[in-house]
Amino acid sequence: MSSDYLELRRRCHLVYDEYVQNYKSYLHLRGFGIHHDDWFFVKRGFIECWFAPGFHRFWQTWNPGIGYFTHRLYLWLIGIGYVGKRKRNLAIILTFLINGLIHNLVAMIILRRCSFPLPFTFFAMGLFTVIASALGEKLHFVRWPRIFHFVVNAGLIIFAFNFGFRMDDLLHRILFHI
């Protein structure tokens, strides 16, 4: 084996080790800790999240696999150093919008249909997240009943999807009438 190949392999292992360490740190930050039980991740990341106090908290535990990459995108968008509240809010909305574009691209490839509801849907979810974060401190969502959290989180998801598909219909009407 050549020394170039061995050096490339060593660098790949270092990058992978750094990725694994960053992912474990992310999981710990989101309350997943170190568990070897897959059911714990399913329960925490796809069931318990619906009862999170505030829509912004819902997204912090929803789907830890995708959540890690969206968190990294968010960190990249805000950059390093002190960031004001406006820039953080814009980064949150842009993270959701980019995520919606990626989800939409996958859906268009699978469904073979040119449609754009998901960017609108995810944009709305980003707005709701920013609003919920601001209201969470003032309204003390943590003190409210868990069923309320479920109803609000599920309701906002349903509303965002409804908004996204209505906006997509409007976009199609505008484009086909021109």
CA 58, CA 34: separation in Å to the nearest integer?
A: 20
Give me the DSSP letters along 113-125: ----HHHHHHHHH
- Give the number of residues written for the chain: 178
Please give the mean pLDDT across all residues of the chain: 87
Mean of the pLDDT values across residues 100-127? 93
Band (pLDDT 50/70/90 cuts) for residue 121 is very high
Interval 119-139 mean pLDDT: 92
Q: What is the pLDDT of residue 151?
A: 95
Tell me the mean pLDDT in the region 85-104. Answer: 91
pLDDT tens across 15-66, in order? 888 878 888 888 777 777 666 677 777 787 888 889 999 898 898 888 888 8
Q: What is the pLDDT of residue 1?
A: 64
Query: What does the angle CA 32 – CA 54 – CA 30 come to, to the nearest 5 degrees?
Result: 15
